[in-house]
Every structure is written in structure tokens, then in C-alpha cells.
Amino acid sequence: MQQSAAMIPVFDQLCPMHVLLDTTGHVVHAGPTLQKLRPDAPLASLRFLELFELQRPRAVRSMEELLASSGMKLHLRFRDAPPTDLKGVLMPLPGGEGAIVNLSFGISILDAVGDYKLTSADFAATDLTIEMLYLVEAKSAAMEASRMLNQKLQGAKIAAEEQAYTDTLTGLKNRRAMDHVLGRLIAGERPFALMHIDLDFFKAVNDTLGHAAGDHVLQHVARIMVEETRAADTVARVGGDEFVILFDGLTGRGVLDRVARRIIGQLEKPIPFDGQRCKISASCGTALSSDYDTPEAERMMADADLALYASKRRGRACHTFWSRDLAEEAQATLPPACRGDAAHVPPPRQ
């Protein structure tokens, strides 16, 4: 064993996962990588067969039976946790001094590297494991780079979609987004209300105070509409000073009328801008999905618009619901050559 002890530095360098066994099968020395697997339990002096469970060949219970497996591939694992699987080969030492067992992780190398935080320094320089670790590291780096790229692309996609569906001045949804939500509500057969709002006297603000004042007013209007509606509702700017609110699951006339009156009341308060006071109001028209046997987006938009202009004719700053009577009144105001058949307007449900 003295001769073998002199070779320990060589063994540690060339096969850092080896164990030297004496004639009784006890560990005399463990390579640095093997010892790293059990840093709190020095392996020297432990009996090899008490430290490892030999799975193949089976029924090995003594040093004599272990020596008989010389040159064979050993399949073994630690008896304590974590029970890492290992491969090995045993060779007797000269002069019957014991044996050396060289171990490796085999296909368990990737799990072992993660479990024990191993690096290339824990393996012999010529070990193919080093090449595998390099490949794994390169693959991990490539996967991380791919993940980061996909993350950036996804972020860019989300930003582009947000931009495509957002009015840049007010931060509200735009006409495209409103059309999408309206189509979804109709397809889902959910009850809802569509309120069309047009600002009164907004042109006077632009004409007298300039477009910067007009932009300020539109942003102020957007904040009020968001504050006066629920998170489930959709507020969209669909034109210069035109807005649409979609009330998901809400068709109660009393509630909707109160919301419209609150919005009108807030908008009638003078809006300060650069030492000036901007004065506007709003007219509203609402169509209810429950007033149609089969709601259609274009029809509901037209009817809400009809109700809106009824509010304008009533003197502005008020709210009107669409009804069949309203449609018939609108038909009556048209020149005879332009009148259509009022019967095409879907009747309200009773």
C-alpha cells in the first residue's frame, strides 16, 4: 500500500473519482471529486460496500467477491441521499495490497453537475465529460440567448399590438379595438350597451385656443370617462371628439342614464389650460343589445349615432336612448326621395 500511496497525487489528477481500498475493503483514500460529493463525511476508513450499494454484479458481500469482479463494469450508487448512480471498474493493486476503483457518472453526469455544482476542474483534462460539459454549457448559453431574444420579440409584439389598439393621444382604445370588443360581445351573446358620445363646443376650443388646448381637453375627457365607468367597460376614442363606451353585461336604462348624466356633468365643468378656461359639454346616445333579436355591430353603431343626434337636437348636454319611435321620427325628417322603409329597423323586444 506504501507504493500505491506514493501514486495518490497521480491518481487524483488522472482519475479524480477513484477510491483506494485496502485488503479488507475499507477506503484508504478517495479522489477529490468523489470526496466533493460527500463534503461533510470523510470517506476514508469507511467500508466500500457499506458506502455503496452494488447493483451489478449482485450478491457481492466481501472484498474477495469484489476482487473477483476485476475488470467488469460495476453499477453502483450511494446508499445515503442523494443516491447518485455511478459506473465503475475495479483493478487489484500489485502485491495484493488491495484495489483501486475508478468511478464515473455515466449518463447521470448532467444531474450530477447540477446536484453537486461540479465544474470542468472536477474532472481529468482528457475526460470526455469535459467535452460534454462544454457542449451543455454552450447549449445552455444558446438557449438563454434564444429565451432572451424570444422575450424581447414577445415584448415588441405586445407593444406593437398595444399601439395598434390604442389611441396615442388619450391612451384609450381606438376604433379598431372598439370594433374587436364589440364583435366579441355580439359573438358571446352577452347583454351590453353601446353609448356614443360627441363633445359639444369642442370646435370653439380649437378655433380660439389652438390645438394644444384641444389635445389637453381630449385627455381630460378621457380621464373622466375612465373614472366614471367600470374596469370591465371599454372606453374608446373613435374620431376627433367622438367616443364610444361599451358596457359589458349592463342594459339597465336607469343606471346607464345616471352614468351619462355624471359624465356630462363632469365635462361641463371648465377645464383650465394655460391660464384660460375651456368650456365644453357632451351629447350622448345609447343603443341596448336587448332591443334587438340579433344585434349587429353596424346597426347598433348607426342607432346609437341616431340617438346621439337626437340629443343634439334637444339642445345638447343630454342623453337619449335609441327606440323605434326615434328611428321613425328620423325617417320623417328626411326629404321624400331619401326616405327608406322604417320597417327595416329591428323592433325592440317587448
In this structure, which amino acid lies at residue 179?
Answer: D
Q: Which residue has the cell 388646448?
A: 213
Apex 55 CA angle, 49 and 57, nearest 5:
90
Range 318-342 burial, b when 16+ CB lie within 10 A, else e: bbbbbbeebbeebeeeeeeeeeeee
CB atoms within 10 A of CB 91: 12
Cell numbers linked to 38: 460527500
27 CB contacts (<8 Å, ≥6 apart)? 19, 20, 21, 43, 44, 45, 46, 47, 48, 51
Examine the residue annotation and report whether 341 is marked as an active-site residue of this protein: no
**Reduced to 3 states, what is the DSSP secondary structure of residue 333?**
helix
Cα–Cα distance, 229 to 246 (Å, whole number): 10
295 cis-preceded (ω within 30 degrees of 0) = no
DSSP 154-194: HHHHHHHHHHHTB-TTT-SB-HHHHHHHHHHHHHTT--EEE
Q: Which of 241, 291, 303, 305 is catalytic?
A: 241
Q: Exposed, middle or buried: residue 277 (CB in 10 Å: 0-12, 13-18, 19+)?
A: exposed
Residues that are catalytic? 241
